[in-house]
Structure 1
Amino acid sequence: MKNIGFLSFGHWSDTPYSATRSAADVLLQSIDLAVAAEELGADGAYYRVHHFARQLASPFPLLAAVGARTRRIEIGTGVIDMRYENPFYMVEDAGAADLISGGRLQLGISRGSPEQVIEGWRHFGYAPAAGESDADMGRRHGEQFFDLLAGKGFAQPNARPMFPNPPGLLRLEPHASGLRDRIWWGSASNATAVWAAQRGMNLQSSTLKQDESGEPLHIQQARQIRLYREAWAAAGHTRQPRVSVSRSIFAITNQTDRDYFGRGESGDHIGVIDNMRAVFGRTYADEPDRLIDQLRGDQAIAEADTLLLTVPNQLGVDHNAHVIESILTHVAPALGWR
């Protein structure tokens, strides 16, 4: 059995064939797609975060709005770039969004990915400490955010506060109990997957990974997941971790699907991203029977408990709901995911 959700990058462009011509289109359609996915029986609505781009950027207003419009579906990110974040303020935003959703928030965070601008985090007021890289800063912000979610008091109360204080040191409010167990680290390497396990975060592994062996993505990713689980067990954490992988999967069930996705890629690609040699996963696109056979061989999907389907959001809510429904109806049962 697997949790199956969607992952939207939230693109918009004012072009003739785009159903998302503006930021308002993307935001409102992102909410509507989450509602539709919940009605179809999907388990999660996840959104990517990019700054200085015509894509979704500020996740918490969107997550809160989705939480208010839905009742069951998990709501998350994949991922928030922690180089841009104030961990203290983020705890407050995340706590509020989680409470609005009734405890359904699943936050994916990471040290960040290649940017639209040079050192964009500096414009947000952040800079690495002496001897740090920007990646180190992102991990430091991530650890601080994760620690603050425990809800322990740390701030000395004012002797003459505006409002009465509870006894002892004060914590950030609102506190969302249980949210700390629903934080995921987006990892592109084996080493950072182990790092996340040691600290007690869940694992998100996307459609690309550092090429550490020259093997296909799904084989390297499956090894990454096994290393993560081994490190989790060695760390002695008391709960079971969660692991997600992202995939571009399209079941071709009509002529429109064939027109959009009928030329699916048959293999992985190798490229350089952020000075890292990376393996990029293939697009799975075929008629359901052949698609099922192909997906049976994906070792990383087999290792993960959660599958995030990347959706082409610029095709609009109706077609993306159809993409999700096709997987849930024609593919997932045959593979034992449902």
Structure 2
Amino acid sequence: MKKIGFLSFGHWSPSPRSGTRSAGDVLLQSIDLAVAAEQLGVDGAYFRVHHFARQLASPFPLLAAIGARTSRIEIGTGVIDMRYENPFYMAEDAGAADLIAGGRLQLGISRGSPEQVIEGWRYFGYSPQDGESDADMGRRHANTFLELLKGDGFARPHPQPMFPNPPGLLRIEPHSEGLRERIWWGSASNATAIWAAKQGMNLQSSTLKADESGEPFHVQQAKQIRAYKEAWTEAGHVRTPRVSVSRSIFALVNDEDRAYFGRGEDDDQVGVIDNMRAVFGRSYAAEPDTLARQLEKDEAIREADTVLLTVPNQLGVAYNVHVLESILTHVAPALGWR
């Protein structure tokens, strides 16, 4: 059994061919897609966060709006770039959105992805400390955020407060119990996956990974997941961790699908990104029976409990509902995911 969610990058473009021509279009259609996905039986609605881009950013208003319009579906991110975040303000926003959603947030955080601008986090007021890289800064912000989510008091109350305080040191409010265990780290390497396990975070592994062995993408990703699980056990955490992998998967069930995605089987691609040699996982697009046979061979999917399907959000809500329904109806049962 797998949880099946969708992952939207939230692209928008003024092009007449785009179904999302403005940021408002993306935000409102994201809410509509999450509502429709819940009705289909999809398990999760996840959204990428990119700054300085014509894509989704500032995730908490969107997550809160979806939480208010739905009742069951998990609502998450994949991922929030912690180099840009004030952990204290983020803890407030996350607590509020999680309470609105009734405890359904699944927040993916990380060091972030390649940027639209040079050192964009500096415009948000953040700089690495002496001897610290921007990745170190992101992990420092993440650790502070995780500590705040525990709900322990740390701030000394004013002796003459405007409103009465509870006894003892004060914590960030609103606090949402249990959110700390629903934080995921987006990892592109084996080392950061092991680090995430030690911190007690769930693991998100996307369609890009550091090329650490020259093996096919899904084989390297499976090894990353197994290393994460071993580190989790060694750390002595009590609960069972969760692991998600992202995939571009399209069942070709009509002429429209074939026109958009029926260009034949893709292979893994290797390139350099942020001075790192990376392997990019292939896309899957085929008739349902063929698709099921291809996905059966994906080792990383077997290791994960959650599969996030990347959706072409600019093709509109109706078509993306069709994409999700095709996977749920024609592919997931054949693979035992449902």
Partner residue, 1:299: 299
C-alpha distance in structure 1 between counterparts of 2:265 and 2:96, whole Å? 41
Query: What TM-score do you get using the length of structure 2 for normalisation?
Result: 1.00
Q: Which moved more, 1:74-83 or 1:271-280?
A: 271-280
Structure 2 residue runs of 5 or longer lacking an equivalent are: none
CA contact (8 A) 1:264 1:283 kept: no
Measured in 1, the distance between the counterparts of 2:185 and 2:270 equals 23
Cα distance, 1:17 vs structure 2: 1.1
Give the Cα separation in 2 of the matches to 1:54 and 1:334.
37
1:1-338 correspondence to structure 2 within 5 Å: 1-338=1-338
SS state at 2:112 partner? coil
Distance 2:218 2:83 in 1: 28
CA distance in 1, matches of 2:265, 2:5: 22
Structure 2 CA distance for aligned equivalents of residues 306 and 53 of structure 1: 28
Q: Distance in 1 between matches of 2:216 and 2:263?
A: 20
Which ranges of structure 1 fall in alignment gaps of 5 or more residues?
A: none
RMSD in angstroms over aligned alpha carbons? 0.5
CA separation of 1:264/1:11 partners in 2, compared to 1, >3 Å: closer, same or farther?
farther
Secondary structure of the 1:79 match is: strand
Distance, in Å, in 2 between the alignment partners of 1:267 and 1:331 is: 21
Secondary structure of residue in 2 paired with 1:71: coil
Shift of residue 335, structure 1, vs aligned partner: 0.3
- Where 1:332 maps in the other structure, the secondary structure is helix
Distance 1:263 1:70 in 2: 36
TM-score by length of 1: 1.00
**How much does 1:264 deviate?**
4.3
Deviation at 1:265, TM superposition (A): 4.1
Deviations 1:135-184 (A, max 9, x none): 00001101110111000000000000000000000000000000000000
The answer on whether the counterparts of 1:67 and 1:101 sit within 8 Å (CA) in structure 2 is: yes
- SS of 1:28's equivalent in the other structure is helix
Report Cα offsets for 1:242-277 as digits up to 9, x if no partner.
000000000000000000000144210001111111
Q: Distance in 2 between matches of 1:153 and 1:137?
A: 24
Question: Between the two proteins, what is the percent identity of the paired residues?
Answer: 80
Q: Which amino acid aligns with 1:128?
A: P
SS of residue in 1 equivalent to 2:248: strand
Q: Distance in 2 between matches of 1:263 and 1:143?
A: 44
Letter in 2 for 1:145: F
Partners of 1:233 and 1:311 lie apart in 2 by 33
Letter in 1 for 2:199: R
Amino acid at match of 1:62: L
Q: Deviations over 1:11-58 (max 9, x none)?
A: 000112100000000000000000010000000000000000000011
Whole-Å separation in 1 of the counterparts to 2:99 and 2:71: 12
Alpha carbons 1:209, 1:279 under 8 Å: kept: yes
Aligned positions, number: 338
